[in-house]
Amino acid sequence: MVYKEIAEGVYEIDILGADDKELDGISTGRCLGLSRQEMLKIKAYFKGEGRNPTDVELEALAQSWSEHCCYKSSRPVLEKTVFCINAPQNICVISEDAAIVDFDEEYAYVVALESHNHPSALDPYGGAATGIGGILRDVVCMGAQPVALVDPIFFGPLDFPEGSLPKGTKRPKYLFQGVVKGIADYGNRVGIPTVAGMVAFDESYVGNCLVNVGCIGMVRKDKVTHSRAGAPGDVYIVAGGKTGRDGIHGVTFASAELSRESEKDIPAVQLGYAIMKEPLIHACLEVNDKGLITGMKDFGGGGLSCVSSEMAHAGGMGATVNLDEIPLKEKGIKPWEIWVSESQERMMLAARPENARKVLEVFDFWDVPAGVIGAVDGSSRIKATYKGKTVLDLDLEFLNKGVRYERKYKVVERNEKDPAFDMPDLNKAVLDVLGSASVGSRESVIRRYDHEVRAATVLKPMQGIINHETHGDAAVIKPLEKSFRGLAITADVNPRMCRQNPYWGSASAVDEVIRNLTAVNAAPHSMADCLNFGNPEKEEIMGDFVSACEGLYFAANGFGVPFVSGNVSLYNESSMGPVAPTPALMGVGIVEDVRQAISSDIKEADNSIYLVGQTEKELGGSQYYRTLGLAAGVVPRVQPGRTKKDSQDLRKSMGKGIVRSCHDLSEGGLIVAIAEMCFGGNLGAKIDLTGISGLRTDFKMFSESNGRWLVEVKKGDEKEFERIVDARRIGAVTKEKNIVIIDSNIKLNLPLDELRSKWSSAVEPER
């Protein structure tokens, strides 16, 4: 293959004279991740241009056409499903790098959820930290102040035998500890609280852990900025960190399966610098607040290549970038490396030329490097120059429209037949479920994060009496100083259910979002999704993706809660196979008055305990079946109409002040929910399950049916509660430190201290 140097470090690549095999060789040799079909499309384009491409141009196309950037496999499915939710009102003001959603008449909240999976599998600390850095930039580039972080993370079992790990695969415990430390160090240093999230463990994540990160921000509606260039004549200004060789081919690396050879891709992992991020945020928000910029966008996937071309294309403009003006970390970085590097802590701003000096003065005040690196024009092309020569000149429509595939798919039918087995020792079963890593306390993770910085976290991730805290259903923050209106935030998905039945497992994730938000007295308002799946070129994987999206659509449409932002992460596979279908969701609810937020810890002896919702024999994907080593089973179904009404009725009763605590029933079922409530209040409970007919005692205790809550009602207010909510009284709070379960001739007496000991020691990362 002929490479002709046309400028210092810039090469023309002869693709016009290349046959199909040679085109494959170019893509493979340069790690472009482009298929033969895509290379032929590029060849045809340059034939029309009457020339061969430069290496800079080929690299630019590889970034923009990667699965990570253009959603070439997923977008056709998303357009028929999650993009089509019928919300009762038009709550989404803008959806660009992040979604901007109505909060009140003056303010909007900003939502973003992303993945940083492949980088975290290679470098857990750096991958997780830069994931946080990236999601913060997504929110800032809309002109919003970040106020909260969320971290749904997924790993193999912490005790997975090291001898069973394939070559090049890191221990799940090492990945887990590195990711938690990376999130904690970055979020804590930049001063944004991590208030919600989830930790899941499953064998499918051994070869490919998942690290999803979300962010919520607040912005005045009249201060919203856009991720686009404003007008011809605007200048491009780069602010923040310098450009280096870290993050080279980050998006193409993220658009391929992990393998034993992936360790060589470690340069694709970016290097975070949280101390730079904090003043960068201040400076960006200040220039926006002063009206000095016409647009702003972060350097994310694809680096300078994507940010400069996408801003110009979104504004219907063109632009020219001078690579000589890009601040570099080291000498000798090649032009194509400058163009695609994903080095962290960088922002691109567009400004009128007369405002450029004022913008630079603001960044200088915050001690953040910044400089003019290009200009916007009306050409509809993106150009780059290096040492006085044009090294890239591409039509923006061709570059950014990318490619699109209607992938073939096959929906694999799963066995949902319930296994036959005798009821085991229930005392042991309760301890085994509570002591499992999937159910046990996340306190050892949560305490690594500062969830109270900014002093706005009203309802914390851990709730209850000091030294006896338990899991909450959602965090509640008070984002505005002069208003008691609040936001509730949660993150949910059950990967085992999604693997057993992608459709109903995904629908169940939506149902859990609704339940968790309702439990803290929040009206569900919006959702973001991060869809983590395997290789879409495999028909059964694509079938799982289609089924999951259809399940998300069914449930979200039924509840009338839209997906306002999201991310798709595909090719999450290794030599051990694909990850379980993992549509991780972030839910946001509106709390009318944070002073009326409801926590999960029970409050007072003699108060009544009610069960809201129907319990069915639905244990497919349940922790109970997993503990017993059982497969198959019916995955819980979702009934949006019934659950929506129960949710509304519950909030009505909460508004009357008669609900003291509330907890949704999810992993582990009723027994885990009541145990967690008792842990937080350091009180006991007496529960009578006799009224739940037609089920064996263990199914009543461990069923994970959707649409259910346990509610503590103030003594004397039972009739008022029953008038509002369709619920069954099943017990009462007791002073005795035990949980008594009665069901016909079965009676269990479970000491609270023994239960808490099992639960609290299930997950303990080393310090």
Bridge partners (DSSP) listed for residue 487:
477, 590
Classified as helix, coil or strand, 614 is coil
- How many alpha carbons lie under 13 Å from residue 49 in its C-beta half-sphere? 19
DSSP 362-401: HHHHTT--EEEEEEEESSSEEEEEETTEEEEEEEHHHHHH
Residue-level pLDDT at 266: 46
* Residue 600 near residue 609, CB atoms below 8 Å: no
Contacts of 482 (CB under 8 A, 6+ apart): none
Residue-level pLDDT at 68: 86
| DSSP H or E run through 151 | strand 145-155
- Residue 406's φ and ψ, nearest 5 degrees, are -95, 85
Residue-level pLDDT at 258: 60
CA 241 to chain centre: 25
DSSP 234: -
Average pLDDT, the chain: 94
The more confident residue out of 39 and 2 is 39
> Which of 734, 591, 730, 757 lies closest to 671 in space, CA to CA?
730
Classified as helix, coil or strand, 678 is helix
Region of residue 755 (phi > 0: left; psi between -120 and 50: alpha; otherwise: beta): alpha
Q: Is 118 labeled as catalytic in the residue annotation?
A: no
DSSP 54: B
Q: Over the stretch 87-106, which tens digit does the pLDDT of each residue have? A: 766 576 566 789 999 999 99
Residue-level pLDDT at 265: 47
Query: What is the average pLDDT across 682-710?
Result: 97
* Residue 475 near residue 491, CB atoms below 8 Å: no
Percentage of residues in the chain having pLDDT higher than 90: 89
Q: Over the stretch 575-617, which tens digit does the pLDDT of each residue have? A: 899 999 999 999 999 999 999 999 999 999 999 999 999 999 9
Residue-level pLDDT at 697: 98
Residue-level pLDDT at 77: 97
Pairwise CA distance, residues 472 & 493, whole Å: 16
Pairwise CA distance, residues 556 & 539, whole Å: 26
Q: Over the stretch 19-28, which tens digit does the pLDDT of each residue have? A: 999 999 999 9
The tokens for 484 are 């008691």
DSSP 217-251: EEEEGGG---SS--STT-EEEEEESPB-STTTTHH
Query: What is the average pLDDT across 431-459?
Result: 96
Query: What is the average pLDDT across 427-433?
Result: 98
**pLDDT band, residue 7 (cuts 50/70/90):** confident
Pairwise CA distance, residues 128 & 630, whole Å: 34
pLDDT of 253 strictly over 70: no
Query: What is the average pLDDT across 198-227?
Result: 96
Contacts of 299 (CB under 8 A, 6+ apart): 137, 240, 307, 342, 343, 344, 346, 347, 348
Bridge partners (DSSP) listed for residue 709:
612, 664
* Residue 449 near residue 183, CB atoms below 8 Å: yes
Domains of the chain, first to last: 3-68 (1.10.8.750)
CA 572 to chain centre: 15
The tokens for 336 are 């194509």
**Catalytic residue (choose from 116, 118, 249, 313):** 116
Pairwise CA distance, residues 48 & 44, whole Å: 6
Distance (Å) of CA 527 to CA 84, 510, 556, 560: 13, 9, 9, 11
Residue-level pLDDT at 62: 94
CA 388 to chain centre: 43
Strand ranges across the sheet with 709-713: 659-664, 709-713, 608-612, 727-734, 684-688, 738-743, 746-751
**pLDDT band, residue 767 (cuts 50/70/90):** very low
pLDDT of 278 strictly over 80: yes
Q: Which residues of 392-408 are buried (b: 16+ CB within 10 A; e: fewer)?
A: bbbbbebbbebbebebe
* Residue 124 near residue 178, CB atoms below 8 Å: yes
**Residue 194 carries which side chain, given as an amino acid letter?**
T
Residue-level pLDDT at 654: 98
The tokens for 212 are 């999803």
C-alpha angle 630/636/641, rounded to 5°? 175
Q: Is 116 labeled as catalytic in the residue annotation?
A: yes
Classified as helix, coil or strand, 158 is coil
Query: What is the average pLDDT across 303-330?
Result: 96
Q: Which of 82-86, 190-194, 570-574, 649-653 has the lowest mean pLDDT?
A: 82-86
| DSSP H or E run through 480 | none
Contacts of 106 (CB under 8 A, 6+ apart): 220, 221
Residue-level pLDDT at 301: 84
Q: Which of 260-264, 547-551, 557-561 has the lowest mean pLDDT?
A: 260-264
DSSP 263: G
**pLDDT band, residue 723 (cuts 50/70/90):** very high
Query: What is the average pLDDT across 669-679?
Result: 98
Query: What is the average pLDDT across 618-639?
Result: 96
**pLDDT band, residue 246 (cuts 50/70/90):** confident
* Residue 501 near residue 77, CB atoms below 8 Å: no
* Residue 603 near residue 661, CB atoms below 8 Å: yes
Pairwise CA distance, residues 522 & 405, whole Å: 39
Beta strands 194-201 and 145-155 are parallel
Pairwise CA distance, residues 594 & 571, whole Å: 41
Contacts of 628 (CB under 8 A, 6+ apart): 421, 424, 429
